[in-house]
Amino acid sequence: MINNTNTTKQALENIDNELPGQGVETASSPLRVSNLAVAYHKKPVLSNVSFDVPEGQLIGILGPNGAGKSTLIKAVLGLVPKMHGEVEIFGRSYRETRRRIGYVPQRESVDWDFPTHALDVVMMGRYGHLGWFRRPGKKEKDLAAHCLEQVGMGDYMYRQISQLSGGQQQRVFLARALVQDADLYFMDEPFAGVDATTEKAIISLLEQLKRQGKTVLVVHHDLATVEEYFDHVLLLNGRLVAAGPTSEVFVEDTLQETYGGRIAMIGSRAGKGQV
Amino acid sequence: MWNWVISILSDPNTRWILLGCLLLGFSSGIIGSFTFLRRQSLMGDTLAHAALPGICIAFMLTETKSIALFLFGALIAGIVATFGISWITRFSRIKQDTAMGIVLTVFFGIGVVMLTRIQHSASGSQSGLDKYLFGQAASMVLTDVYVMGGVCLVLLVACLIWFKEFKLVSFDPGFARGMGLPVGVLEQLILLLTVIAVVAGIQAVGVVLVAALLVTPAAAARCWTDSLALMVLLAGLFGALSGAAGTIFSTFVPNLPTGPVTVLAATVLFAISTLFAPRRGLLARKLRSIQAKSTYMREEQATLQLSSTQPQTQKRGEM
Amino acid sequence: MATFWIILTAILVSSACAILGCFLILRRMALVGDAISHAVLPGIAIAFLWSGSRDSLWMLLGATVFGLLTVFFIQSLQAGGLSSDASIGIVFTALFAVGVILISLNAQHIDLDLDCVLFGEIAYVQWDTLTLWGADVGPRAVWMLGITLLVILVVVGLFYKQFKLCAFDPALAAACGIPVVLFHYALMGLVSMTSVASFESVGSILVVGMLIVPAAAAYLLTDQLGKMILYAVLIGAASSVGGYLMAYAMDASIAGCMVAVAGILFVLALLLSPKHGIVLRYVRRKYAAR
């Protein structure tokens, strides 16, 4: 293992971790990626990506278009094939820990004309827990209703999903993620195309998850809100440019490196970058 | 070997059929390239099925079996079909593939109803319409070949004249519209040419298989080149070859129908192209993929070795 | 009595197709269904040659395999980068061509009329009866279709939530651990089985028509999957009965008439559906504008 000993704080942590009977790293970090590489039709999309994710934090995944942010999540979840690399979730393979993961895909990935209502969509989040033959029953229904209330969609339970606005659809997706009762969440651009109220609702939900000790990885595109929302960030540009606490990593030079000099920094050194 | 070829060409009947199928394959391949690129390959299938009621009505109104008349009837039916598809998709939440399926089957069903009515009526027995459905290339006569030739000429000339426009409309209709091109008209034109190829094709290979004449040679040609002009030419060539192969094989083997053999020949050409074409073929891509992976692994090794002989830099993102 | 058997056969076909068709159109695989119904032809021909007779079970199984092969080839081509419409077109025409060739070359061994393949001959269904243990138990087609429908009800009933999720959000289904590919092949296998069981009595057109049109009409009438399936079955049944009556009155192809009636019902749904119909939407807009 190659350790980062750049700061005293890190050095002390490492000493702490080297107690007898313990590994150098914490045994079950929610997500550990090693040397991940993904290619679509011979074009490398991600190469040599390695990182560890701390537990119970809100982590932002940032990068320009085509940087591989969605691909990273899909590769971790086994939705696209990896050319190379390993993924460990809570120390084990994805297949073993599936129950502990929640996934909120991009809104376009679904056909919103499907004949179903909001409550039904949320209940679908429990299908993974029901096994092969059991049908969703009252328990699942109540749980789904509760999660819809949590995202402020209690009044829309039986509304056909095509009649929902973009923000409402996003909230239904979030409720579906909540109902999965996961410890580790992956969200792909949850803030894309939603109104300000929905955005506030989403972020307060994320904070709530964090208070419950869950870990949330969010693909995000709005640099202006990164410092406000996220404790840690991953900067991607086909490869991992930097990873770490927002205050340390979300700085001018790493941002310039990630976005290729296409951003203008306004304000302080670690200030609000606008792409 | 030569004797064999000569024996084929000496029989006038076979000559006509061969020529007809050659021309048909050539022109279908050409217009098929554009429908292939526009991702409307199954439109040929839809138009073929939808043409039936048009053909039946044409027959019922005039009581004569004439290709030109059938063409006209099929054209009208084809236009109605395309309008039907766009109305369904525009005014309801039904998606395009479902709309195509609906129009395809309902029009064909109506056509079959008309067909059976015709067959049960007095003039029905000489209509030969049911043979039409399965294609009877073997019964092609000189006039049919003239029609094929005419069809081929029309398609060739049209594609030559409007090549640039078809190219743009196939690639980026939005941009073309922005440029001021009459995209709607051009799309209808491509459709018209497709209908012509389809109606001619039904005669040779039958309703179900006509789609193959449009798609398969074009898909095969795509594997060999990135230039549209070359692709169109190759598609025509492959189509012609398939038509020839179909005719020749069915001449020599008794009971072997021309249409399906033509389609199989085209499929074989496609299979060869998909597997062995340089750059875009499967084999070539597999080789490149293996190369890419081994290059990646070598670079990985190199970096690792480099870092083990240098002071440690942050390689792992640790938070 | 003949009427009874004919209509029963048709209703069995339309019910089986309606259930499967709902999932097909929701997954935007309507044309794959069309392709499969044609591509099973070589399977039927081979099964004929193999068993030397119309031994239904072998035919059903053997031809179903061809339906699955079709899906496999289509997926392979798509994975190789070919567009989905071209993949479908190339595969099903090639397989249908193989089927026609097999039948033509073996005409003396295969008692199949090529016209029959397209239109079937439902009027003769009643004559071809099954004899079990020396007793005449009714038309073979009815038995084959009945068993097919039963299998469909059982499979779709048991795995309803999986089929539903795979149709709605395959990414989430995969993330939940549901084997999406397995259910895809299961659905297509059922379509395949239905095509084979139906082709002799009603031919390909009716199968494809009954797969797509009633389900599409039902799609316009309701916002719930369960109801959509129910309405599709009902509309299919109505098309069967209506089509038969029409064919009787006009002395025309029964299968064709059934599809035509389905088409009429679809147009009615398109125009008049309370939720999504064109006419009512127009009226509502005018009313709201006041």
Digitized pLDDT (tens) for each residue of chain A, 275 residues in all: 334 444 444 544 554 444 444 344 445 788 888 888 888 766 788 888 899 998 899 999 998 887 788 889 988 888 888 888 889 888 888 878 888 888 888 887 788 888 888 998 998 888 878 877 888 889 989 999 999 998 888 899 988 888 888 888 888 988 988 888 889 999 998 888 888 888 888 898 899 899 999 999 999 988 888 888 999 999 988 888 888 898 888 888 888 888 876 666 665 444 444 44
CB contacts of B114 in chain C (<8 Å) are 252
pLDDT band (50, 70, 90) for residue C205: confident
Q: How many CB atoms lie within 10 A of CB A238?
A: 18
User: C83 vs B100: CB contact, 8 Å cut-off?
Assistant: no
| Residue found under tokens 């554009």 | B34
Question: In whole angstroms, what is the distance from residue C63 CA to residue C36 CA?
Answer: 10
pLDDT of residue A3: 40
Question: In whole angstroms, what is the distance from residue C143 CA to residue C145 CA?
Answer: 5
Average pLDDT over residues C266-290: 79
CB contacts of C81 in chain A (<8 Å) are 41
> C163, C222, C223, C273: which to substitute to probe chain A, counting the most A Cβ within 10 Å?
C223
Q: Which of A61, A40, A99 is nearest to A232 (CA)?
A: A61
Average pLDDT over residues B88-99: 89
Q: Does C178 touch chain A (CB under 8 A)?
A: yes
pLDDT of residue C71: 93
**Residue C239: both structure tokens together:** 């098309």
- Tell me the three state secondary structure of residue C172: helix
Residue C123: CB partners within 8 Å, gap ≥ 6? C2, C6, C254
Given a cut of 80, whether residue C120 has pLDDT beyond it is no
Given a cut of 80, whether residue C112 has pLDDT beyond it is no
Question: In whole angstroms, what is the distance from residue B264 CA to residue A122 CA?
Answer: 49
In angstroms, what separates the C-alpha of C192 from chain A's closest C-alpha?
Answer: 24
Find the distance separating the first CA and the last CA of chain A, reported in whole Å. Answer: 35
Question: In whole angstroms, what is the distance from residue A68 CA to residue A75 CA?
Answer: 10
pLDDT of residue C1: 67
pLDDT of residue A265: 62
pLDDT band (50, 70, 90) for residue B103: very high
pLDDT of residue B308: 67
CB contacts of B95 in chain A (<8 Å) are 113
> A93, A103, A217: which to substitute to probe chain C, counting the most C Cβ within 10 Å?
A103
pLDDT band (50, 70, 90) for residue B15: confident
Question: In whole angstroms, what is the distance from residue C29 CA to residue C35 CA?
Answer: 10
Query: For A40-44, A60-64, B21-25, C92-96, which range has the lowest pLDDT when averaged over its residues?
Result: A40-44
Given a cut of 70, whether residue C193 has pLDDT beyond it is yes
pLDDT of residue C92: 93
Using alpha carbons, list the distances in angstroms from residue B189 to A251, B149, B176, B180.
57, 20, 15, 17
In angstroms, what separates the C-alpha of A89 from chain C's closest C-alpha?
Answer: 14
Cβ atoms C103, C95 nearer than 8 A: no
pLDDT band (50, 70, 90) for residue B313: very low
- According to DSSP, the β-strands at C135-139 and C129-132 are antiparallel
pLDDT band (50, 70, 90) for residue B128: low
Question: In whole angstroms, what is the distance from residue A50 CA to residue A32 CA?
Answer: 8
- Tell me the three state secondary structure of residue A84: strand
pLDDT of residue C105: 83
Which residue type sits at B194? T
pLDDT band (50, 70, 90) for residue B125: low
Q: Which of A115, A172, A186, A166 is nearest to A144 (CA)?
A: A172
Count of CB pairs separated by less than 8 Å, B with C: 193
CB contacts of B115 in chain C (<8 Å) are 253, 256
State pLDDT tens for residues A199-213.
888 898 899 899 999
Residue C281: CB partners within 8 Å, gap ≥ 6? none
Give me the residue from C25, C38, C256 closest to B113, CB to CB.
Answer: C256
CB contacts of C108 in chain B (<8 Å) are none
User: C169 vs A110: CB contact, 8 Å cut-off?
Assistant: yes
Query: Which chains form contacts with chain A, at 3 or more CB pairs under 8 Å?
Result: B, C
Average pLDDT over residues B239-268: 89
pLDDT of residue A274: 41
Using alpha carbons, list the distances in angstroms from residue B117 to A201, B12, B54, B70, C252.
65, 36, 14, 17, 5
User: Count of alpha carbons within 13 Å of B178, Cβ hemisphere only?
Assistant: 4
Give me the residue from A95, A103, A116 closest to C172, CB to CB.
Answer: A103
Find the distance separating the first CA and the last CA of chain C, reported in whole Å. Answer: 57
Q: 3-class secondary structure for B96-164?
A: HHHHHHHHHHHHHHHHHHHHHHHHHCHHHHHCCHHHHHHCCHHHCCHHHHHHHHHHHHHHHHHHHHCHH
pLDDT band (50, 70, 90) for residue C52: low
User: B44 vs C270: CB contact, 8 Å cut-off?
Assistant: no
Name the more confident of B8 and B226: B226
pLDDT of residue A19: 43
User: A98 vs C26: CB contact, 8 Å cut-off?
Assistant: no
Given a cut of 50, whether residue B312 has pLDDT beyond it is no
Which residue type sits at B30? I
In angstroms, what separates the C-alpha of A124 from chain B's closest C-alpha?
Answer: 23
pLDDT of residue C49: 78
Work out the mean pLDDT of chain B and round it to a whole number: 82
pLDDT of residue B310: 55
Backbone φ and ψ of A236, nearest 5°: -115, 140
In angstroms, what separates the C-alpha of C131 from chain B's closest C-alpha?
Answer: 32
Question: In whole angstroms, what is the distance from residue A4 CA to residue A27 CA?
Answer: 18
Give me the residue from C26, C168, C175 closest to A77, CB to CB.
Answer: C175
Helix (H) or strand (E) holding A38: strand A31-40
Strand ranges inside chain C, DSSP E: 129-132, 135-139
State pLDDT tens for residues A145-190.
999 998 888 899 988 888 888 888 888 988 988 888 889 999 998 8
Cβ atoms C33, C222 nearer than 8 A: no
Average pLDDT over residues B284-302: 79
Query: Which chains form contacts with chain B, at 3 or more CB pairs under 8 Å?
Result: A, C
pLDDT of residue A270: 45
pLDDT of residue C129: 62
| Residue found under tokens 């022109």 | B27
Question: In whole angstroms, what is the distance from residue B313 CA to residue B303 CA?
Answer: 12
Residue A261: CB partners within 8 Å, gap ≥ 6? none
Q: How many CB atoms lie within 10 A of CB A97?
A: 19
Helix (H) or strand (E) holding A242: strand A240-245
**Residue A239: both structure tokens together:** 């490869």
Query: For B246-250, C46-50, C73-77, which range has the lowest pLDDT when averaged over its residues?
Result: C46-50
Question: In whole angstroms, what is the distance from residue A171 CA to residue A205 CA?
Answer: 10
In angstroms, what separates the C-alpha of B181 from chain A's closest C-alpha?
Answer: 31
Given a cut of 90, whether residue B317 has pLDDT beyond it is no
Q: How many CB atoms lie within 10 A of CB C240?
A: 30
pTM score, two decimals? 0.83
In angstroms, what separates the C-alpha of A263 from chain C's closest C-alpha?
Answer: 33
Average pLDDT over residues B31-55: 90
Cβ atoms B273, B220 nearer than 8 A: yes
User: C253 vs B116: CB contact, 8 Å cut-off?
Assistant: yes
